[in-house]
Structure 1
Amino acid sequence: MRALSYQQKSYGLVFMALVAVMLLVGLLAKLSLVQQYQYAYTELSHQVLLIRDQVFKVKVSDNQSYDNLSQSLVRVERQVQHLQQLLQEPSGEGASIIVDNAMRFHANEFSLGVENLVANLETLLRLKISQEYSTHTVSLLQQELLGRYADAESKMYIFALIAGTPQMGDTHSPVFTTSQYQSLAIHSELLVKLDEQIKLKSQQVFDNKVNSNLAVQARFWLTLVDDIKFNLLLVIFCLLLIFAINYRVQQREQNRKESKIRHELSESEKEKAQLSLVAEHAQDAIIITDDTGRVTWVNKGFVNLSGYSPEEIKGKKPGAVLQGENTSKHEVDRIRQGIMRQESIKSELINYHKDGSEYWIDIAINPIWGPEGKLTNYIAVERDSTERKQMQSELEQAVIKADVSNKAKSTFLATMSHELRTPLNGILGMAQIIEPSIENPEHRQQIRILLESGNHLTSLLNDILDFSKVEEGKLCLEDEPFQLSTVIDPIISTYSPICAEKNIGFEVKNSINSAQSFRGDKARVRQIIYNLLSNSVKFTQSGRITLSFSQALGETAESGIAIVIQDSGIGIRQDRLESIFDPFTQAESSTTRQYGGTGLGLSIVKQLVELMGGKIQVSSRIGLGTRFDIFIALERAKNVTYDIDTQPVTQVLPEKLRILIAEDNKVNALVAKTFCQRLGHTVEIAYNGLEAINILKHRQFELIIMDNHMPEMDGIEATEYIRKTLKLSVPVFACTADVFKEAHDNMIQAGANHVLTKPLQEQSFRDALSQFAHLVRKPQGAETADNKVVALSRHQPQELNTTEADIDYRQLRVSVANDAHRFSLYINEFNEFAEASITKLISAYDDDNAADIYQLSRLISDKAESFFSARIQTLSREIADTLEGGDSVLSSQLELERLQHLINLLEVNIHQNQRLLQEQSNDSSTEVG
């Protein structure tokens, strides 16, 4: 068994001493209490015996003695009862512990004995009083009878009666007939009985049991006191023994400490000798000064570093000898202030060698205090940091070069992306132009493959551009309210059919209240999830993919959402997890060959998450799948709800416009021209900005499509010239392969109404025409300025141009897994929503209620997104952005035209939906027939 430590022994002895002291205190308290009861019961015993003796001596004639005895008996009885009550119900917690059952038992016995004795004494006292009274009465009656009857016979009868032996004589004697004689007979007889009772009661009073009971009580209390005293002596002995043991333990510990101190002193002396040796021969320079800062000692390291001998530096201040022209004045002042405040200080500065050469040092100066708290010395340690400073300078230059290289890389990526988009625009544009005119199914399939490949290439370019934007700090996040359903619904619609096609499960778990709104960049949140889900789908061949949403708090208690994406895919090796978010990195070298991709997706996800103040973590096991845990900081917004009733509508795309296209690339010009001619417009092409300006000086157009980068005059210069010099208000659609925000902003600032991004998509061009129809609509026999909207209105079906309908039925069918019934329900749901929204918009405009229009526009934008209607979504979002804040701007003609345009778009889609549902119904009837 391991020996007990000093601390354990001390604690044990202290505990034992405390227990002994507590026992000692308890025994002393019990002794005091028991002695009090002993004295009380002894005193009561004496009083009882004294009263007993006095009772036998009492005389009736002495009334005062009788009263005193009666009071004494009552007092003794009360004292006995009081003592008994104290023992039965002791006052105080300590007394209740001290009093035991034996004490209570003996108290009860004593009380019963005293009570019986007192009762007998009281009875005896009463009997003696009665006896005295009867004797006195007999004497009086005798004297009266003797005085009345003096004859001898009567006297004989009287004395015989008094003696207790009445004589029988002549019953007619006068003495027998008197009442006095009869009373004398009665009292004489009573005296005889009283004598007998007094003898009996006296015998009971002097019974040996009384004396023996009192003796037992006395012995009990005396024995109890002796036992307590013995226990006291025993506890005191134990306490003394504990103190003796403790003294021995303390003595051993003291000896051990003294031995340890002696050993430490010996080791300290050895250490001091070694430290002295170290200080003397250390490479770092060590300087000791007095309290005024003058050198008293230096080591060899100082001599080697500075070139000055100890004799040359002693008695001088180091700064006066070592500092020179290039020594930082700021650092010197800082050191001087620290020394004046008697504080420790660190610094880095230039010193000068004895030969005049410069060298850098890291210096640490510390004050030394004497035993009385008085400053005695300063110790300075200097280390040569010249090589480190040179390396630091070289590193700074390398960082600058790396930054320049990194910027050059980002610029290169952006430039290459721009240059690639120009031919890509031609490829995709021509493919879109060719597709509708191809009758051969095989050729049509080939064109579709070409379009899909082009779109894939576009997504890769977008990844590269997103990466470049993040690296250059040019990626801006939107801050707008949205509900999570507008993020989740498109994800479900997109990935449910994709997963079903691969025969893998796809489950979405959302524990966030559907009514809860957030503020943030909804599109970037969706992009994060899309990128991660794309990876999961790509690398999962069987099993399932789970997407979970919940509310959460960040590391600094900021509110946001937690997103978990779990798949059962091929997994990632542990040694690759740390680098999985690095740009251009994939888990395995074979991944690119087998699955494709740039390796930028996860890097962009990580940087987007961090831009949103969030965090992303990944865990994975080979063959079992991968899990991504994302936290995105999103501020909770006020919940937006709006009741929608039921009621119809749409608008017309501008027709037969005269359009000028300024584009230096002939293929891109041909693509744009074909898109315009398909819609029935006439087109003229200018191959640079200057040529476009010259054409506009002589001819009018309803729309200009302006490329950005062109020879002789670029798009920005040409647009500024159109607005500022030619003073033309004709709508201008800028068209550029540059997707950076600055480029778009520059075009808008120059006067463009809208910016189209290359590669140009026919649908995006149609969306732009639809969005700005109020500006580009050709007048019918009048100037465009007269074509004003004066009030919001509905249209008849024959007035609508169904080419503006843009619900993507293909994607919508995919989102419902090609379920015809659900597809029809969704279409009817949109129609009801759109009808009700039109009614609400017209009503809100009539009431000049900008807040209601803002809320409706937000709802329409969300609904349009879930139905893949880009035109409605874009236009309604622009209206909401304009009205955000609640200020009414409904009086402007532009906003009125935009609202009418939105109503027209809703009407067009309603009408197109009704036609589609009718066609489906007819097809079903034909099949049944």
Structure 2
Amino acid sequence: MRPSLRQAPCAGTAMQMQASMAAVLDHLPVGVVLIDPAGRIRHVNRAALAMFGAADASDLVGKPCHGTLCELGCCSVLDPAESTASYEAEALRADGTRIDVLKSAIRLDLNGERLLLESFIDITERKEAEEVRRRSEARFKTLFEHAGDAIMIHDREGRLLDVNQEACARLGYTRRELLAMTLTDVEAADAPPAPPAEAADRPAVYATAYLRRDGRRLPVEVSARAFDFAGRPAVLSIARDITERLQAERQLQQAKEAAEASNRAKGDFLARMSHEVRTPINGVIGMTQLAMEAESAHEQAEYLHAVKESADSLLAIVNDILDFSKIEAGKVHLDLARFSLRRCVASAVRSLAAPAEAKGLELLAGVDAGVPDTLVGDAGRIRQILVNLVGNALKFTDEGQVALRVVADEVAAGAATIHLAVADTGIGISPDKQRTIFEAFEQADGSTTRRYGGTGLGLAITSDLAALMGGRVWVESEPGRGATFHVTLRLARPDAADEPAWLTRTDLRDMPVLVVDDNATGREFLLAALAQWDMRPMPAADGCDAMAKLRAAAAAGDPFGLVLLDADLAGADGFAVADAVARDAALDAPVIMMFHPARWQDVDDRLATGTLAAHVTRPVDPEQLSEAISKALNRPGRAQPPAASPRPAPRALHVLVAEDNRVNQVLLERLLKRRGHRVTVAADGAAALDAWRAGGIDVVLADLHMPALDGPALAAAIRRAEGLTGRRTPIVAMTADATADQRGRCLAAGMDAH
């Protein structure tokens, strides 16, 4: 039933009632507006005046509701006679601004007039708060879904209430699957559990591990704290993947342990070097003293031989330390030039023949026929690698053999990859030590240094040098079964690479040759060397086998044209076999004896009697073998130069030695005088310059580091003085620094050689 007011019995009563109503409306906390049937504002209460920003009722009364309190066409109360339920709307204020209101309208009859009573509640602050909350929720949702960490919301019992996309991606589950799980379901069984729910009332950070759908572990660091989620207590857990951090921590720990191990190794190295350096120094001092007191030349020679051995040992230690220091400082530069690989190999092996023979070891070397001989590289450093590896093998081998094999892994037009392999029958290396032995200051066993000596830097130097040449180093070994060290080197090939004549000779094609050697590896290397000249080699393992094959070939009418015979055959001496061949008239094959230097006397005796046609020392150098074959067959393998007239004896020179070290002065003076030269010694650069100015000097040997004037300054002073005379005195620099940079500085200062 519509509200209505009965018509008043008199005008006074009606006015009183209207005044009373106005007073009541003014005390209401909501804005009230009375609108007549024409849609004009009839009355507003105080709350409405304040709400709409009007100073006085006259600012609103009499004006149309639409356009004054609301936008035209925007009000849902189009018929003033209709009542409406509450709804939210936007209202206009007197200053043109808008406010959000909760509006309702009631139709009533007042004194027979149909009016509309509208009430307004200002909800602007509430709407603003809702907007702030909506934006906050939107930001949270954006951050929640786009966070780089896995975020999970769970209740106090661990049931998952919400998860973000990163959590799904990290764990491998769909959102629906995760929301049907609990926190315990995703935690690894052996991982530290989450703190109790009550602990989440304050922020908690802990490390744990989740289990992915595929069974893999996901180590995480979780930050958890309690909060209100949709009106219920919950816990927000942010889990960060710490896989990389843990890996970095492990690597850091490994690096720390490696650094500590390196420091320990360096300490051990210094302690060893203190011993290694002092030992030969003591030997030099002690044996020198004994040599000075010796009464016989034989005794003195014995002591001096020991002095030389100690000095050689000390020099090897110093060279290793200096080389490694240069490599560590990045100051090693390769001196690239054309060189013969086979001559480099022969030189390295020949230098180690004496220590091999002293230990009773067989030292063998073979270069595959497919390996190019003329290459571009640092021959000195390659020789150093070979000496390091072969010398190391000899050091750790007490019986058996050491064999160097050279093959080509790849040969292209402009480059070749050369593979060096040194195999020994020594003590071997355990698998856990095979990687560390190439590190500085490391050896397979600290006791090896005490037993075998050395710096322990040789393999580290070899590894670094190989890396400089584009290669690498590795080892294959078993304890007690020897070791094989491998090195690859990437070397350039010159554009016009003519191989040496001895390597490509064709005059031996199809010649049958008997190779007599009781060492299988030695036979293999010799057979390969002879095959590259297209000869027809046949092996024999001992003297009996050799004689049988020689006689069988002669009887068949295809005798051997040559015999290569090892002097030290097992069971039968090689010289006895050579004697037997010489006595048998049916055997007319020239014999080339392969021997160790200790048997020179036996060789000389057979050469004198004609039993031997030629000889080569072991390890066999293929170039020397070619020369020996030519001599034995009386067929030179290369063109012989025309006979030269006898060379005159070298004339005696007046040599100026500029050297401040007394020992070096004596050494140089004695060596030069033994060769018939006259020597003047100057102890510093200034004295040397005065001696040169005195005249008569044929050549100057100048130390680079002297008082008064150093070597380069002395050379420069001499060259300036010579500019006035037109003559030039040869000046040779003397220094232990053999680098290309130092040589360049010497030449730039006016010196002629270094």
Query: TM-score normalised to the size of structure 2?
Result: 0.43
Higher relative contact order, structure no. (Cα contacts within 8 Å, ≥ 6 residues apart): 1
- Structure (1 or 2) with the larger CA radius of gyration: 1
Query: TM-score normalised to the size of structure 1?
Result: 0.35
